Chains A and B, each alone.
Chain A
């Protein structure tokens, strides 16, 4: 992959992958940072990227891994998103539907959420989802089925609360 090819790949897929990772991890700024870092790694390891059948999947997997491996929060420290880490340009009004969907996704177990995003948002067939997450197809199908059910329930029942913003104080 030469510089021009990489630049084209980066320009074409950055926003798409960021959206996907956002849906997986529920934090837009963090998604963007992780995807950014994944692209840096992609260039650093471009031989690997060339060998990868689907470079976009390679970047997505790497970004997801980065997101998961970041120290995020302990429950005691849970508080509204830390504005200090957000990037300066994030000012556009949020799309309400999208926010609700991401908030609901966030309540699902991580494995279900990832399967849903890969299958329905990234349009990957079950086999490709299985390969990307490293689980058998049957497991992926089960996660999708449970995830769909849970998601539907969450979005019909839950009041429009600000989930996850409780103070994490211990009442001593």
Chain B
């Protein structure tokens, strides 16, 4: 075979035996997924009867029914309900467009992009079903989207998230408009938010009125634009009048929850008297842990730098401006860099928690105010989303995606800002470890925060509560639970059988076959192994040729880089670079040692430390 690339180019599936399912079968299975009760048991007969009855009432009501089978006589209709009695799909005959006149109904979330100061509370909702109705053109634009979520709590949280976004945006006082949360009103079963862009705004109409109404697991979000600038009240009334016919129908999905309040602004639960809280960061703070090993960087200048106090502070730029940060008490920096791979951490302490809260609020406000940077010299435009993440006392993800000529590019950066007590940790990734991805940045958030898990956990020392008993700040975990990089405790990879026995820590099984390359080792105090690679109680292997050749991790053990059972393959790759294998991965050897990770395809299920030339297992 002379030119493999030619072969690859001519690689054809012709002649490959294939026996695909019939297209109709593929669709049938697809439809089944679509209707599936996510994790909930199939509907019982009683629930089905209830649905049919309800649907019948709906049909009998004033709903303008299209053609199609009568739900009351078609028991195969799949208006599934969960065991709790809630619908899991929006019935086909649910008239979301009632009273709209000539609306276009689509099976997607037209309100997904609802945006308050850069926060889009409706994007990427975990919906079971969604439907929209829209009339636009001329002077008016009316949109309704019904989101059906998994349960009432999700629905309520979604509803509150919209209110929070509006509340936060209202507090920001946008230069080009006013967002206002209208006061709750007994006569209206939901919340109303207005956005007034002001008279003379470039776009007419200038006022958007958004209504949010939640029944059971269903959230209705509507938007209407009109020319009510200056006095939005007529707009509020118009919008509510327009929903008059629809709102009672929402009872189909569950009880109305009424108007809700935004969540409490209470980032200070973990603060209090800060007299005893240290502001000095210990030199051995685990700021640089969880990154790939220094030796994996392509040149010596690259790789790990710090943690130290000499690296420059991380700048924050948005819309051409640099954040003017307030005074702080102490700062530690660390970086791991490689070609096109920039990872930086910065831990800052402030005089007290209030100062830390204020610093984060200031920074986040600046970032939220700039969803899009001006065009750069190279033609790229950075688009920015800012959202909360559930870490520390408060956490934020600043996700930046570079676009070129309006199209996506694989470039961008992700910055996590996590405050706990009087400390603020910034975790920033740029280059190919930093692009936020298309999943609302969730994968990126997971990667960065799991890499930095030790740095995040140790922030507890800067809170009033401290890190709990028996810890001086969480800067170290029991070394017994750490496997590697060269062995476990006194037992080092490469030690001969005699050296191992001399430690008194192991028992080495006699070789039942004199030609065997390796003998099994058990380690005193270790549990019976549950390692899926091995039957029976074997904790390690010692090789005639290479000495201690393999140690199987015990449950709960982690590598010095923080990788253990449950870590994702991405975590492993982030910690150890390129991996060999598929589903079962070997890392590149470092100092003659290598890691082997078993995975279920997504995350680690077991792992072991190996001599790079081990001859005990294939």
Contacts and interface: CB of A to CB of B under 8 A. Distances in A.
A34 to B, nearest CB: 11
Contacts of B618: 75-76, 78, 166-169
Given A3-B27, A18-B13, A136-B410, A32 B1 contact: no
Interface stretch (B17-25, B159-167, B220-228, B465-473): B17-25
Contact of B11 (A25, A92, A121, A135): A121
B538 A172 contact: yes
Given A98-B11, A109-B580, A171 B616 contact: yes
B17 A168 contact: no
Interface string B587-617: 0000000001010111000000000000011
A109 B587 CA distance: 11
A54 interface: no
B584 A74 contact: yes
Given A68-B583, A111-B578, A171-B518, A19 B33 contact: no
A81 interface: no
B341 to A, nearest CB: 9
B583 A70 contact: yes
A139 B298 CA distance: 13
A83 interface: no
Interface stretch (B79-87, B317-325, B430-438, B483-491): B430-438
B17 A91 contact: yes
Interface in B262-277: none
A117 B26 contact: no
Nearest to A11: B23
Contacts of B524: none
A62 to B, nearest CB: 12
Nearest to A153: B4
B134 to A, nearest CB: 15
Contact of A101 (B8, B518, B578, B617): B8
Given A97-B1, A100-B1, A172 B519 contact: yes
Nearest to A24: B582
Nearest to A46: B30
Interface string A45-71: 011000000000000000000001111
A110 B541 contact: no
A71 B600 contact: yes
Interface string B400-417: 000000001011000000
Given A155-B1, A172-B520, A75 B617 contact: yes
B24 to A, nearest CB: 8
B9 interface: yes
Interface in A18-43: 18-20, 22-23, 25, 28, 32, 36, 39-43
Given A68-B583, A75-B617, A171-B516, A39 B26 contact: yes
A148 B9 CA distance: 12
A86 to B, nearest CB: 10
Interface residues of B, number: 64
Contact of A172 (B9, B17, B24, B516): B516
A120 B583 contact: no
Contacts of B520: 172
Contact of A40 (B14, B17, B30): B30
Given A75-B618, A101-B8, A170-B534, A18 B516 contact: no
A152 B6 CA distance: 11
B525 interface: no
A73 B584 CA distance: 7
A155 B275 CA distance: 69
Interface string A7-20: 10011001110111
B4 A73 contact: no
A10 B33 contact: no
Contacts of B14: 15
Q: Which of A40, A78, A92, A131 has the most CB of B within 10 A?
A: A40
B4 A88 contact: no
A76 to B, nearest CB: 5
B293 to A, nearest CB: 18
B595 to A, nearest CB: 13
A10 B16 contact: no
Nearest to B600: A71
A74 B533 CA distance: 7
Interface in A115-166: 116-117, 120-121, 123, 130-131, 134-139, 148, 151-152, 155-156, 166
A27 to B, nearest CB: 10
B584 A101 contact: no
B580 A41 contact: no
Contact of A18 (B7, B18, B534): B18
B511 to A, nearest CB: 8
Given A18-B18, A68-B583, A74-B533, A172 B13 contact: no
Contacts of B29: 40, 43-44
Contacts of A98: 11
Contact of B19 (A76, A78, A89): A89
A44 B33 contact: yes
A117 B26 CA distance: 26
Contacts of B584: 72-75
Contact of B4 (A28, A87, A104): A104
Interface in B515-553: 516-520, 532-534, 538, 541
A48 B290 CA distance: 35
14 contacts: A10-B26, A18-B13, A23-B11, A32-B19, A73-B584, A75-B533, A76-B532, A88-B19, A101-B1, A134-B437, A136-B431, A138-B340, A171-B616, A172-B520
List 10 A-B pairs, minimum CB-CB distance, nearest first: A19-B13, A43-B30, A69-B601, A7-B23, A44-B33, A44-B30, A89-B19, A120-B8, A171-B516, A40-B29
Given A19-B16, A36-B20, A155-B1, 16 more contacts: A7-B23, A32-B18, A40-B33, A41-B30, A43-B30, A44-B33, A46-B30, A71-B600, A100-B1, A109-B580, A110-B579, A168-B618, A170-B534, A170-B541, A171-B513, A172-B516
